[in-house]
Amino acid sequence: MALIRTAVTDAPLDLAGEFAGVSNGRADVGAVVTFTGLCRDEDGRLEALELEHYPGMAEAEITRIATLAAERWDVQALTVLHRYGKVTPGEAIVLVVAASSHRHAAFEAAEFVMDFLKTHAPFWKKEHALDGSTAGWVEARIADDEAEARWNKDA
């Protein structure tokens, strides 16, 4: 049974701490894959991204996605953390840490979590421009729907 840890937080994400959390003191973990999604400045245009979320559902949906991944791949631990509130360029928005005996399960579980999180976890990004111009909502990408759909084809 995989150790699943999920959180939605307004505090900075600690990659080193989360890595240690799934690997320290364990001899059964042979592979740890980490994915970190960072806030970009969009060629110097952005001051920050503001992440709105649906409290209650966001946590539930991330836990549901992590649980699906842990059922599908043989992972020992799976951590999925997501920020809300204002995030500045260079800061992490999302962190996925997958630990398994062998690398394939860890790679695939992490990628599956990200693809489903993009299309199912209720978060929305609003841009805050450096020049103070009107902030706009980031639009969803068709490519994200396609990335999710490929996991269903070989299900």
Partner 1 sequence: MKLLYFAWVRERIGLTDETVEPPAHIGTVGDLLGWLRTRGEGYEAALVEPEAIRVALDHDHAEHDASIVGIREVALFPPMTGG
| Chain residues in the site for partner 1 (CB under 8 A) | 37, 51-54, 56-58, 60-61, 82, 93-94, 114, 117-126, 137-140
Min CB(49)–partner 1 separation in Å: 10
Rg of the chain over CA atoms, in angstroms?
Answer: 16
| 81 Cβ contact list (under 8 Å, min separation 6) | 5, 6, 7, 8, 9, 13, 18, 94, 95
Min CB(128)–partner 1 separation in Å: 14
Min CB(31)–partner 1 separation in Å: 22
In the complex with partner 1, the residue whose CB is nearer, 23 or 125, is 125
In the complex with partner 1, the residue whose CB is nearer, 49 or 106, is 49
In the complex with partner 1, the residue whose CB is nearer, 51 or 76, is 51
Min CB(84)–partner 1 separation in Å: 9
Instruction: State the Cα–Cα distance between residues 46 and 148, nearest whole angstrom.
Output: 28
* Listed residue (136, 114, 134) closest to 125, CA to CA: 136
In the complex with partner 1, the residue whose CB is nearer, 71 or 124, is 124
